[in-house]
Amino acid sequence: MRTQIVAGNWKMNKTFQEADDLVNELVEFIETNKAAHRAMIICPPALYLELATDMARDTELYVGAQNLSQFEKGAYTGEISAPMLASMEVEYSIIGHSERRKYFGENDEMLAAKVRMALKHKIDPIFCCGELLVERESGKHLDVVKSQLDNTVFKLDPVEFGNIMIAYEPVWAIGTGKNATPAQAQEMHAYIRKLISEKFNDQIADNTTILYGGSCNAANAKELFSNPDVDGGLIGGASLIAEDFIKIFQALK
């Protein structure tokens, strides 16, 4: 069975003390509720990654960044590099979140470079894709996602691609309280898996974890995750409260 995952994207939230409290609650839960084929990842703001990796060390809570630079080192003020993250024991990074695409001008070319940089330093990308509302309403959602994947992670070789996790996040569902229906999620996830199979092979497609993201919460997670091609979720708002995030974790297959 593919690993079923919930990943929490904290975005730009939490003070240091609040972050400490939340990690503490999650570590306490996960250490008493170990589950084969299920994993919990948190992606706190970069400033708290050291806190998180310290507290999560030797536990089954895993830590990811929300972003990384496409450059390896040098004169890039304010950026955080893949080798820096790797040296802090960060194992994952979200790459291509729609907020990075929208507010920070990240395009496919930059995202392809970020993916390569992450892999070079043994950081597993959680690669986000997803269409705008206007694209869904005009029936272009499948083509948009295909193009986002063709231009980035589908340029990798099969071995490299084996380290990629995909997060399908329809932009219209992120932070809006309007999640994709289970049928909409399943349609897209099955489509992405078919594309992976055509690009690489059936086995790689079968092994790839594809997360759903966009207003997933404790109330709707079970129904979303019950779809055969939905392997868990990338969770924004609902990952900020331990009780909610734990309930979402418990909704995994």
Q: Binding to ligand PEP by residue 9, rule CB under 6 A?
A: yes
Residue closer to ligand PEP (CB basis): 152 or 220:
220
Would you call 107 exposed, middle or buried from its count of C-beta atoms within 10 A (0-12, 13-18, 19+)?
exposed
What SS3 state is found at 39? strand
Which residue has 């990690």 as its token pair?
Answer: 23
Question: What is the distance, to the nearest Å, from the Cα of residue 158 to the centroid of all Cα atoms in its chain?
Answer: 20
Residue 37 exposure: Cα atoms within 13 Å on the Cβ side: 8
- Concerning whether 97 is annotated as a catalytic residue, the answer is yes
Residue closer to ligand PEP (CB basis): 52 or 126:
126
Site for ligand PEP in 82-121 (CB under 6 A): 97
Nearest approach, Cβ of residue 177 and ligand PEP (Å): 8
DSSP 47: G
Q: Binding to ligand PEP by residue 8, rule CB under 6 A?
A: no
Residue closer to ligand PEP (CB basis): 118 or 213:
213
Site for ligand PEP in 19-48 (CB under 6 A): none
* End-to-end CA separation in angstroms for the chain: 10
Q: Binding to ligand PEP by residue 228, rule CB under 6 A?
A: no
* DSSP-derived secondary structure for 145-211: HHHHHHTTGGGS-HHHHTT-EEEE--GGGTTTS-PPPHHHHHHHHHHHHHHHHHHS-HHHHHH--EE
Q: Which residue is nearest to ligand PEP (CB)?
A: 236
Q: Binding to ligand PEP by residue 158, rule CB under 6 A?
A: no
Nearest approach, Cβ of residue 40 and ligand PEP (Å): 15
106, 131, 135, 169: the catalytic one is 169
Q: Binding to ligand PEP by residue 220, rule CB under 6 A?
A: no
Neighbours of 94 (CB within 10 A): 26
| Of 106, 124, 135, 169, the one binding ligand PEP by CB under 6 A | 169
Residues annotated as part of the active site: 97, 169
| Chain positions contacting ligand PEP, by CB under 6 A | 9, 97, 169, 174-175, 213-216, 234-238
